[in-house]
Amino acid sequence: MISLTPLQQLAARKGLNLFGLVDAADFDAAQPREQRAQALLPTCGCILVAGRGGPAIRRSHGGRGASGPAAARGDEAAAQALSTELNAAGLRHLRLHSAAAKMRFQQLGEAAGFGVVSPVSGMLLHPVFGPWLRIEAALLVEGSPFGGAPKDGVTIGFDPCSSCAQPCVAMCSSLAVDRRGRLTRGWCGDLERGGGCADDCDARLACPVGGGAARRAVRAKIRGHAQRSRGLGWRRPSPLWLRGVQSQR
């Protein structure tokens, strides 16, 4: 059996502070046929999942949201480093990036123990980082060279949305959050192109989940970017429901 420790240490050096192992058969049992690991690599026995949470997102993405060419290059380099190590160990695998959307990466993060997928917004939520985490890559590995995947993680007993007032729904400027666990990202993109959500996602900013220094650091960086944007004449638009109230005055 091969130790996961060197791979986890490599991921940490690349800024990937979330790292986990998922049993492919267990994951596939709850996924649509076309988005199963074994549909992409029939001999897949396990999945290495890597991501960033908290301030690591900001360091990787240059103080803006989790997108853009620079972010993509950084994510790709980190995933490539893990892939190189697997090749050196003679492990056949298939590397996927979250942008490829061939698998349900939010659910993959949940299976890896990074958090729970909100039944309200569809966002992946971590007890400390809240919604400020991102799955960067998945490596589908042939067989089970690392042994069995752990069955526990930060998600044990974590159910943040059951008693929440759901401010993510009310504050979403594009109405992309539907209270049923679906996030219509195409609507987000339309609003970004129109000048809204240019600093960061309103729904994520409104989410009360998380705490501690890591979450506060993310919010501080967001506020700093927003202040710089206002200095250039940009103002965050009001949520759509509030704009309707203002127009009636």
* Half-sphere exposure (Cβ direction) of 98: Cα atoms closer than 13 Å: 22
Of 10-19, 56-65, 156-165, 170-179, which has the strongest mean pLDDT?
10-19
Stated pTM of the model: 0.77
The tokens describing 126, both together, are 């971590």
The per-residue pLDDT for range 58-73, each reduced to its tens digit, is 554 444 444 444 445 5
As a whole number of angstroms, the distance between CA 191 and CA 171 comes to 14
Backbone angles phi, psi at 83, to 5 degrees: -60, -40
Alpha-carbon torsion angle 12, 91, 142, 10, nearest 10: 0
**DSSP string of 130-165?**
BT-EEEEEEEEEEB-TT-SPPS-STTTT--TTTT--
Instruction: Give the range among 3-12, 29-38, 96-105 with minimum mean pLDDT.
Output: 96-105
Backbone angles phi, psi at 215, to 5 degrees: -70, -40
Domains in the chain with CATH codes:
5-142 (3.40.109), 167-247 (no CATH)
The tokens describing 68, both together, are 């853009």
